[in-house]
Amino acid sequence: MTLPLFPLNTVLFPGCTLDLQIFEARYLDMISRCMKQGEGFGVVCILEGAEVGEAAGQFAAIGCEALIRDFQQLPNGLLGIRVEGGRRLRVLRAQVLPDQLTVAEVEWLEEETEQPLLGEHADLAALLGALSEHPMVAALGMQAEPVGQAALANQLAYLLPLEAEQKLQLLALDQPLQRLDLLHELLEQLQGQAGATQ
CB 65 within 8 A of CB 86: yes
Last residue of a domain, one of 48, 76, 108: 108
Give the pLDDT of residue 29. 95
Q: Are 104 and 135 in a shared domain?
A: no
- Of 90, 26, 29, nearest to 56 (Cα)? 26
Q: What is the CATH number of the domain that holds 126?
A: 1.20.58
Does some domain include residue 113? no
Q: Are 83 and 155 in a shared domain?
A: no
Fill in the DSSP letter of residue 113.
P
Mean pLDDT computed over 175-190: 94
Beta strands 79-96 and 102-108, pairing class:
antiparallel
**Three-state DSSP class for residue 4:** strand
User: Which residue range(s) make up the domain with 179?
Assistant: 119-197
- CA dist., res. 16 & res. 86, Å (int): 8
| pLDDT tens for each residue of 96-129 | 999 889 999 999 999 889 999 999 999 999 999 9
Q: Are 100 and 134 in a shared domain?
A: no
State the virtual CA torsion across 97, 6, 20, 54 in degrees, nearest 10. -50
- Of 108, 143, 126, nearest to 17 (Cα)? 143
